[in-house]
C-alpha cells in the first residue's frame, strides 16, 4: 500500500527519497561493495551520504532517482545512474573514487554471479527501469519529449496525452522431455559448451501455450503433447523480458529433432546422467583460449537452471518409485 502511494503521489515520493536507500549505477553497471569476508553486496546509500554530497552542483539530480521497490520496513529503494547526465568531472570523481564507498561498478551479468538472494532481482529491476527511462525520452507519436512522474513509474507526453509505462516482452521458455531425456539447445552466441532450455518471444495476440507450441515446432520441429507451468522471472538481458517457464512433453515415439539453423546452432537430447553432471558445474573448466571445454547449463540465477533442476529431480523420483 505504501509502495503504491509513493509510486503514484509525487510529494510522498520526494519525501521518501529523503530517507530512502539509493543504489548507484554507472551507465547501467551497478555499484557493488566487497565486504571484508569477500561477499559482494549492493550498497544502499542515503541522500545525505558523503558519496552523494560529492555530486556538488549536480546534487539536485539525485531527484531523478527511480523508485524500484520498498523494504518490509517501508524504506523506499531507488536507482540512480551517475553516468548519464551528470557532468564530466562528477563522473570522473566516481570512477576515480569508488573506493570511497569501497565498491566498483560491474557489468550486470557479473553482478548476477556475485550477488546472493534477493539482491540480484533488485539490481536487475533497478537497471531495467533506468534503461527504460533512458530510451523513452520522446513520444513515438508526436516526437515531443515525455515527462516522468517523481517515482518514474510512468512517462507522459503532454502534447498527445499518451502515458507510457515501463515495458517487458513476454518470453516462453520450455524444457521438453520425452519421458527419459530432455531437449536442450544452444545459440551460436552462447558461451561455448552451454546448452539451455528453448525460448522464444510471444507474438502479439498469442496465448502462452500457442507461443510455446509454435516455438518448439519452429526451432526443433517437434509437436508438444502436454504443458505444465513452472514459474516466471524478470530477465534483464538484453532488454526486459518476462520469462514464463514451462515443462512440456512429446510423444516418445516422435522425437526426431530438426534444428532451425537460423535460430539455433544445435539442439539435442540429453540423458539424466549428462544433465546431472552439468548441474554440478559451478564454473566450467576452460582451455588456454579461455573457452569452456565441457557441456554445462545456465547458472542458478537463470530460470532455465530451475527447469533443468526440476526435471532431474522428477526423474529421480520416478526411478525411486519404480
Ligand atoms: N532466463 C533464462 O533462463 C533464459 C533466458 N533467455 C532469454 O529469452 C529471450 C528469448 O529467447 P530467443 O531464443 O532469443 O527468442 P526467439 O526464439 O523468439 O528468437 C529471437 C528473435 O525473435 C525476434 N523477436 C520477436 N519479438 C522480439 C522482441 N520483443 N525482442 C527481441 N526480439 C524479438 C527477433 O527477430 C529475434 O532475433 C532472450 O532474450 C534470452 O536472453 C533464453 C534462455 C534462457
Ligand atoms: Mg529461441
What phi and psi, each to the nearest 5 degrees, are found at residue 277?
-60, -50
What are the tens digits of pLDDT across the range 249-308? 999 999 999 999 999 999 999 999 999 999 999 888 899 888 888 999 999 989 999 999
Coil vs helix vs strand at 21: strand
Domain of 228: which CATH number? 3.90.79.10
Cis omega (within 30 of 0) for bond into 224: no
Do 70 and 177 reside in the same domain of the chain? no
What pLDDT sits at residue 83? 80
On whether the CB atoms of residues 307 and 230 are closer than 8 A, the answer is yes
The residue whose C-alpha atom lies closest to atom 29 belonging to ligand 1 is 169
Coil vs helix vs strand at 7: helix
Determine the longest span between alpha carbons in the chain, in angstroms.
71
What pLDDT sits at residue 64? 86
In a domain, 153, yes or no: no
| Domain ranges, residue 91 | 1-135
Q: How far apart are CA 136 and CA 165, in angstroms?
A: 10
In a domain, 160, yes or no: no
Do 245 and 303 reside in the same domain of the chain? yes
Do 125 and 174 reside in the same domain of the chain? no
The residue whose C-alpha atom lies closest to atom 7 belonging to ligand 1 is 199
Do 130 and 192 reside in the same domain of the chain? no
On whether the CB atoms of residues 171 and 200 are closer than 8 A, the answer is yes
What pLDDT sits at residue 117? 82
Residue ranges of the chain whose pLDDT lies below 50: none
The pTM (predicted TM-score) of the whole model is: 0.90
Do 315 and 173 reside in the same domain of the chain? yes
In a domain, 147, yes or no: no
Do 94 and 228 reside in the same domain of the chain? no
Among 131, 168, 171, 208, the mutation site with the greatest number of ligand 1 atoms within 8 A of its Cβ is 171
On whether the CB atoms of residues 240 and 171 are closer than 8 A, the answer is no
CA angle 92, 95, 100 (to 5 degrees): 110
Give CB contacts under 8 A, 24+ apart, made by 152-157.
152/65, 152/66, 152/67, 153/7, 153/8, 153/67
Q: Burial, 129: exposed, middle or buried (Cβ in 10 Å; 0-12, 13-18, 19+)?
A: buried
Q: Which residue has the cell 533506468?
A: 130
In a domain, 258, yes or no: yes
On whether the CB atoms of residues 67 and 77 are closer than 8 A, the answer is yes
Distance from the alpha carbon of residue 263 to the mean position of ligand 2, in angstroms: 6
Do 182 and 315 reside in the same domain of the chain? yes
Which residue ranges have their beta carbon within 6 Å of ligand 1? Answer: 169, 171, 173, 196, 199-201, 233, 235, 237, 241, 243, 263, 298, 302-304
Query: Could you give the ipTM of this predicted complex?
Result: 0.95
Ligand number nearest to the C-alpha of 201: 1
What are the tens digits of pLDDT across the range 103-135? 888 999 999 888 988 899 999 999 999 999 999
Do 126 and 252 reside in the same domain of the chain? no
Quick one: what percent of the chain has pLDDT higher than 90? 71
What's the total number of domains in the chain?
2
Among 124, 128, 201, 306, the mutation site with the greatest number of ligand 1 atoms within 8 A of its Cβ is 201
What phi and psi, each to the nearest 5 degrees, are found at residue 120?
-65, -50
In a domain, 161, yes or no: no
In a domain, 12, yes or no: yes
In a domain, 146, yes or no: no
In a domain, 144, yes or no: no
Amino acid at each position: 500500500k505504501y509502495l503504491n502511494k509513493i509510486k503514484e503521489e509525487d510529494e510522498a515520493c520526494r519525501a521518501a527519497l529523503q530517507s530512502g536507500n539509493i543504489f548507484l549505477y554507472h551507465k547501467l553497471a551497478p555499484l557493488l561493495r566487497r565486504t571484508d569476508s569477500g561477499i559482494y553486496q549492493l550498497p544502499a546509500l542515503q541522500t545525505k551520504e558523503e558519496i552523494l554530497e560529492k555530486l556538488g552542483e549536480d546534487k539536485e539530480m539525485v531527484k531523478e532517482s527511480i523508485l524500484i521497490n520498498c523494504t518490509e520496513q517501508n524504506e523506499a529503494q531507488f536507482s540512480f545512474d551517475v553516468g548519464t547526465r551528470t557532468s564530466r568531472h562528477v563522473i570522473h570523481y566516481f570512477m576515480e573514487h569508488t573506493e570511497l564507498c569501497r565498491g566498483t561498478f560491474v557489468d550486470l551479468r557479473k553482478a548476477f554471479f556475485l550477488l546472493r538472494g534477493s539482491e540480484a532481482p533488485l539490481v536487475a529491476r533497478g537497471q531495467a527501469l533506468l534503461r527504460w527511462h533512458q530510451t523513452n525520452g520522446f513520444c513515438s507519436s508526436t516526437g515531443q519529449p515525455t515527462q516522468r512522474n517523481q517515482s518514474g513509474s510512468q512517462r507522459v507526453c503532454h502534447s498527445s496525452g499518451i502515458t507510457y509505462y515501463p515495458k517487458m516482452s513476454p518470453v516462453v521458455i520450455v524444457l521438453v522431455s520425452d519421458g527419459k531425456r530432455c531437449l536442450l539447445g544452444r545459440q551460436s552466441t552462447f558461451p561455448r559448451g552451454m546448452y539451455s532450455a528453448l525460448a522464444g518471444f510471444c507474438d502479439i495476440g498469442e496465448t502462452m501455450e500457442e507461443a510455446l507450441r509454435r516455438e518448439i515446432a519452429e526451432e526443433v520441429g517437434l509437436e508438444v503433447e502436454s504443458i505444465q507451468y513452472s514459474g516466471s522471472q524478470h530477465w534483464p538481458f538484453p532488454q526486459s523480458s518476462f520469462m514464463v517457464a514451462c515443462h512440456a512433453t512429446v510423444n516418445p515415439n516422435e522425437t526426431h529433432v530438426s534444428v532451425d539453423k537460423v535460430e539455433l546452432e544445435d539442439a539435442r537430447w540429453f540423458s539424466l546422467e549428462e544433465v546431472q553432471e552439468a548441474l554440478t558445474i559451478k564454473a566450467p573448466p576452460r582451455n588456454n583460449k579461455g573457452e569452456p571445454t565441457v557441456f554445462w547449463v545456465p547458472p542458478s540465477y537463470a530460470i532455465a537452471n530451475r527447469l533443468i533442476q526440476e526435471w532431474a529431480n522428477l526423474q529421480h523420483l520416478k526411478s525411486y518409485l519404480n
